Amino acid sequence: MTDRPAPTDAATGAANSMWGGRFAAGPDAIMEAINASIGFDRRLYAQDIRGSRAHAAMLAAQGIISDSDARAIGEGLLTVLSEIEGGAFRFQTALEDIHMNVEARLKALIGEPAGRLHTARSRNDQVATDFRLWVRDQCDAAVGGLRALIGALVAQAEAGADWVMPGFTHLQTAQPVTWGHHMMAYVEMLGRDIGRFTDARARMNESPLGSAALAGTGFPIDRHATAAALGFDRPTANSLDAVSDRDFALEFLSAAAICATHLSRLAEELVIWSSAQFRFVALSDRWSTGSSIMPQKRNPDAAELIRAKIGRILGAAVALFTVMKGLPLAYSKDMQEDKEQVFDAADTLMLALAAMTGMIGDLTVNRDRLEAAASSGFSTATDLADWLVRAAGLPFRDAHHVTGSLVAAAEARGVDLPDLTLAEMQAVHPAITDAVFGVLGVHNSVASRQSYGGTAPDQVRAQVARWRGIMESWG
Ligand code: ARG
């Protein structure tokens, strides 16, 4: 635990440094330890100061405090900001959280006017505002990280639009697909992730500031002005909801968990593909690790760690859902438990996105291995069945049965479908002709799958072009 306090106040019975009048004694040291959030919420310092500056300026514009007090507060807060950024600031556990730490320092710097800053405001709307600002930035950061990864995947897809590889279901060879098609599948997933972060950002972009403790305030404040100053679209419409709502954090964690699930699946494929048994891809030196005992090893540690990170991120989501689910309106201190979860999930997601982007960008693809693997495992059996439907007029169910017999025949001889002779095929069904060999090759197979969104190289190139257009719109 950071900043664990020495048991001073309680032991000496000194008056409470924050609540003054009502309290004769300070808190027990353990009370202070469980109550304080400054060990982690100091991360909100910039948002806290920004919110306070907007609030003070509004108070002055509304004639609630004097212009000179507002000026002193505004300048004092900038001094606090530079002290924090310069590393000179002394955070104190006794002052509980970032809000009280900043205000206490402001008081030390400018004296009496500092006490006017908290007019028409509570830490409840203050923390809700600070945290929304922080999570809003993280939505933007996640979108930025996702865009970079999409760029790396689209480049891979473009290079390998017509490289043939096995497509799997049940991790059993199913039908040939193209490398580009497989890369673009992840682009679609990550595109939806961008949509989720963007939607969440738009929904959270309302200002809780001025909701005060829970009921609003009797002071003639202008919530639209502070909302605009902080880049929010509008003020929140219900003060009880505003101070007790953490949907924005839950939405961020949910979007992050889905995104991390996608990263984990791609990571899993990299682990499989880079194994000695597959050798579909090789990770660069920059993205591999060695073994301290087995000199031949090249381990995909980053992929494995990305695969695991979903545990932390989903864990954070579950933790915060659990914190929130039974809380009565409005604010409860339980909600202080929101921050560490979101901080850790956001950091973890950004690291995973960056590592995945690096790995994908550096990936060497073994085209020959891909194609050899695509050609084995009777991967064109469906093409053969389709051909029997088209060329020999069989109902698909019968064609499926005939093809099954042909696969069995090939399997019995230990060869693949194109290696069967015409006579062997005709022994299974007399309608089969020489023309069947045209559909048994993997390149023909993928080229034939021209349905919209199919694996044909032309279709893949069309999707790459569509995404290039989207990427251009990002600037
Ligand atoms: N540190 C608190 C939190 O993160 C700030 C709000 C405190 N409000 C209160 N009524 N004690 O939730």
DSSP assignment of 118-170 equals TTT--HHHHHHHHHHHHHHHHHHHHHHHHHHHHHHHHHHHHHTTT-EEEEEET
The best mutation among 124, 214, 327, 338 to test binding of ligand 1, ranked by most ligand atoms within 8 Å of the C-beta, falls on 124
Q: Using a 6 Å cutoff on CB, does residue 246 contact ligand 1?
A: no
Q: Using a 6 Å cutoff on CB, does residue 134 contact ligand 1?
A: no
What's the pLDDT score for residue 54? 98
What's the pLDDT score for residue 1? 41
* C-beta separation of 53 from 37 below 8 A: no
Q: How far apart are the first and last CA of the chain?
A: 43
Alpha carbon separation from 256 to 110, 241, 319, 430 (Å, rounded): 42, 24, 14, 57
The one-character DSSP state at 24 is S
**Model confidence band, residue 420 (pLDDT cutoffs 50, 70, 90):** very high
Q: How far is the CA of 333 from the centre of ligand 1 (A)?
A: 6
What is the arithmetic mean of pLDDT over 408-431?
Answer: 93
Q: Is the pLDDT of residue 250 over 60?
A: yes
pLDDT tens per residue, range 286-326: 998 887 878 787 899 999 999 999 999 999 999 999 999 99
The protein residue with its alpha carbon nearest to ligand 1, atom 11, reads 333
What is the arithmetic mean of pLDDT over 73-94?
Answer: 98
What's the pLDDT score for residue 15? 63
Q: Is the pLDDT of residue 3 over 90?
A: no
The one-character DSSP state at 5 is P
What's the pLDDT score for residue 9? 41
pLDDT tens per residue, range 12-51: 445 677 777 788 888 999 999 999 999 999 999 999 999 9
CA–CA dist 439, 437 (Å, integer): 5
Q: Which atom of ligand 1 is nearest to the CA of 338?
A: 4
Q: Is the pLDDT of residue 433 over 60?
A: yes
User: 235: which strand partners?
Assistant: 207
DSSP state letters, 371-393: HHHHHSSSTTHHHHHHHHHHHH-
Q: Is the pLDDT of residue 8 over 70?
A: no
Residues 6+ apart with CB under 8 A from 332: 244
The one-character DSSP state at 115 is G
What is the arithmetic mean of pLDDT over 244-259?
Answer: 98
Q: Using a 6 Å cutoff on CB, does residue 124 contact ligand 1?
A: yes
Q: How many percent of the chain have pLDDT more than 90?
A: 88
- Strands 172-178 and 281-282 come out as unpaired
pLDDT tens per residue, range 123-170: 999 999 999 999 999 999 999 999 999 999 999 999 999 999 999 999
Q: Is the pTM of this model over 0.95?
A: no
Q: Is the pLDDT of residue 214 over 90?
A: yes
Q: Is the pLDDT of residue 336 over 60?
A: yes
Active-site residue 291, yes or no?
Answer: yes
Q: What is the mean pLDDT of the chain?
A: 94
CA–CA dist 180, 166 (Å, integer): 12
The best mutation among 214, 333, 334 to test binding of ligand 1, ranked by most ligand atoms within 8 Å of the C-beta, falls on 333
234 phi, psi to nearest 5 deg: -170, 165
**Model confidence band, residue 94 (pLDDT cutoffs 50, 70, 90):** very high
Q: How far is the CA of 17 from the centre of ligand 1 (A)?
A: 16
In the three-class reduction of DSSP (H, G, I as helix; E, B as strand; rest coil), residue 301 is classed as helix
pLDDT tens per residue, range 364-383: 999 999 999 999 889 889 99
What's the pLDDT score for residue 11? 39
The best mutation among 45, 127, 214, 332 to test binding of ligand 1, ranked by most ligand atoms within 8 Å of the C-beta, falls on 127
What's the pLDDT score for residue 109? 98
Q: How far is the CA of 123 from the centre of ligand 1 (A)?
A: 6
**Model confidence band, residue 7 (pLDDT cutoffs 50, 70, 90):** very low
What's the pLDDT score for residue 88? 96
Q: Using a 6 Å cutoff on CB, does residue 335 contact ligand 1?
A: yes
Set 170, 292, 451, 473: catalytic member: 170
The protein residue with its alpha carbon nearest to ligand 1, atom 3, reads 336
Q: Which atom of ligand 1 is nearest to the CA of 213?
A: 10
What's the pLDDT score for residue 401? 96
The protein residue with its alpha carbon nearest to ligand 1, atom 4, reads 336
Q: Is the pLDDT of residue 276 over 90?
A: yes
Set 66, 68, 284, 291: catalytic member: 291
Closest CA to 379 of 182, 180, 172: 172
**Model confidence band, residue 335 (pLDDT cutoffs 50, 70, 90):** very high
Q: Using a 6 Å cutoff on CB, does residue 123 contact ligand 1?
A: yes
CA–CA dist 340, 40 (Å, integer): 7
Q: How far is the CA of 335 from the centre of ligand 1 (A)?
A: 8
Active-site residue 118, yes or no?
Answer: no
